[in-house]
A and B are shown apart, each in its own frame.
Chain A
Amino acid sequence: MQSETLVVPRHLVSEMILHCKEIYPNEACGILAGKNRTVQKVYKMTNIENSSVSYMMEPREQFTVMKEMREQGLEMSAIYHSHPQSDVHPSPKDINLAFYPDSLYVIVSLINEEQPAIKAFEIKNGLIREVEILII
């Protein structure tokens, strides 16, 4: 059974936000790796689209990271990306391209630079459901 909440240590949340701010005004993307839905590690990935409205992880880097995760017994608890200029909800493109329904999709909105908004969603068969994030 998958737990209902995504559990993320505070320092990893900071690391993810920092990454999103570094890549601003473009979209940042990465992987939250862990056991089930408890995150243990942040992988900052390269967005090959270099765009403020879309992202695609560099395929080879993604392949290498997934291999490392498999070797370390880590799962892809969540996939994160930033919305530099839009709100914290999945875009139509996010829904169309959600190829990993078992992972959660975390969005970091930077509309309010001082206080980024972060939410996690399950995206399955075109349906979105918000999942609570527990910061520990």
Chain B
Amino acid sequence: MDNVIQLQKKLVDYKTSLFNEGILDDQFTQLQQLQDESNPDFVVEVVSLFFKDSERLFDELTKTLDQQNIDFNRLDAHVHQLKGSSSSIGAQRVQRVCILFRNYCEGRNIEECLKCLQQLKREYYFVKNKLETLFKLEKQIMEAGGTIPVQ
């Protein structure tokens, strides 16, 4: 039981740090509130969709930026999609880079767009790692017979 309590505290502290550091925002909390016994894996499913979608969009962004004549409208459309999906799961820092990226698309600034893509990938893999750690902690608690604490 002590182990469960320790794990629960570790989870709460970890989640709090993600919010305090601006890695996740209230939208993530809203997703968690939608999860219940009838759909116990909702958050993991949504976040997995986000991972899949984002990695597809990174491929598209890379391809588009590789072209001789860059289609900035196409570039912007992809970044807009990524902005929407990152905002839907509360990945605040990814969303912010998308906003910056869109400004550079509008300005047709290739160099800054390339930098933004790199920054976007960094922020994405950072939040991906954090979320995977969060889900691992939740799984450990469940396997130890505990319940996930609600913040």
Q: Do A and B bind each other?
A: no
Q: Which residue numbers of A lie inside 8 Å of B, CB to CB?
A: none
